[in-house]
């Protein structure tokens, strides 16, 4: 790897968590309490369980309160919504995150819709999506916001840059496009029906890949010097029998030789997601207490 091209999300996230810890200390001094994040895990999905544990650990490291609620896989929709309503009413809870995906038989959308938008630190509630679309103070989905932070840290001013976002999910693609528009980039939101996708991508100064297809974006699809944010996390067979490895949506070795800068997988966007979740929780807590948004976050 040519290290000067690598966008080190792990290092950026660590620095961000340090700034958050400072902000949490200031919040405690002003309010007499710590910001609180409640995470709800339904069922025993191993990956989700690991993720929930890591969120709790990250909370404690920056001085936040962590409230974990673990429910069995056969939990009813009514029971889950009742818990969400209790968390909405709990003054110690500033952020609510329901770990997705939910087990079969539970409606993700209905559950998310029941979360208080001002505690929706995942940024998935329709109210926050609407706020983001009109440029109001939204709680923004963590992965897109983390990606934007990495872009601005590497490029600086994004005004006038041509950006292509590949993937139109509500979780990454659409909010990523909105964030780039707010930074005055010219944005194309590409997807599976886009005609001649490689030609569209070759115009871009910024490429954000979020499609969930391993190594889809090839090196010769890129404009020389483009900055590439690879959101994909795909597990594929390793060269070693019986083992797997993580790759992104971009063919890294090909792209790294063409791009001006690129996020690796792992170690790029991934570490930013939990760091931004903590940031969103501190912002939500500050707004609930009538305080200004913390600076530098």
Catalytic residues: 55, 99, 122
Burial 137-164 (b: 16+ CB within 10 A, else e): ebbbbbbbbbbbbbbeebbeebeebebb
> Residue by residue, what is the 3-state secondary structure of the chain?
CCHHHECCHHHHHHHHHHHHHHHHHHHHHHHCCCCEEEEEEECCCHHHHHHHHHHHHHHHHCCCEEEEEEECCCCCHHHHHHHHHHHHHCCCCCEEEECCCCCCCCCHHHHHHHCCHHHCCCCCCHHHHHHHHCCCCCCCCHHHHHHHHHHHHHHCCCCCCEEEEECCCCCCHHHHHHHHHHCCCEEEEECCCCCCHHHHHHCCCEEEECCCCCCCECHHHCCCCCEEEECCCEEEECCCCCCEEEECCECHHHHHHHCCEECCCCCCCHHHHHHHHHHHHHHHHHHHCCCCCCCCC
Q: Are 34 and 23 in contact (CB under 8 A)?
A: no
């Amino acid at each position: 790897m040519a290290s000067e091209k690598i966008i080190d999300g792990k290092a950026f996230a660590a620095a961000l968590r340090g700034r958050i810890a400072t902000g949490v200390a200031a919040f405690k001094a002003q309010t007499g309490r710590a910001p609180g994040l409640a995470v709800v895990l339904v069922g025993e999905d191993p990956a989700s369980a690991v993720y929930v544990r890591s969120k709790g650990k990250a909370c404690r490291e920056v001085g936040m309160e962590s409230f974990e609620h673990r429910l069995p896989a056969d939990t009813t929709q009514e029971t889950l919504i009742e818990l969400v309503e209790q968390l909405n009413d709990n003054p110690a809870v500033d952020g609510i995150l329901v770990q997705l995906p939910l087990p079969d038989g539970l409606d993700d959308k209905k559950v998310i819709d029941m979360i208080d938008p001002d505690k929706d630190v995942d940024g998935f509630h329709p109210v926050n999506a609407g706020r983001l679309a009109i440029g109001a103070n939204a709680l923004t989905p963590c992965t897109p916001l983390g990606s934007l932070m990495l872009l601005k840290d590497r490029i600086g001013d994004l005004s006038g840059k041509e950006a292509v976002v590949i993937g139109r999910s509500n979780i990454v693609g659409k909010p990523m496009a909105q964030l780039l528009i707010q930074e005055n980039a010219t944005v194309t939101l590409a997807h599976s029906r886009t005609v001649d996708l490689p030609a569209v991508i070759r115009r871009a100064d910024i490429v954000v890949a979020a499609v969930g297809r391993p190594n889809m974006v090839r090196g010769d699809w890129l404009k020389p010097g483009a900055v590439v944010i690879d959101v994909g996390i795909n597990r594929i067979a390793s060269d070693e029998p019986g083992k797997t490895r993580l790759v992104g949506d971009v063919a890294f070795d090909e792209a790294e030789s063409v791009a001006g800068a690129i996020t690796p997988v792992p170690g790029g966007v991934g570490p930013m997601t939990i760091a931004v979740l903590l940031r969103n929780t501190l912002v939500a807590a500050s707004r609930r207490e009538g305080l200004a948004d913390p600076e530098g976050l």
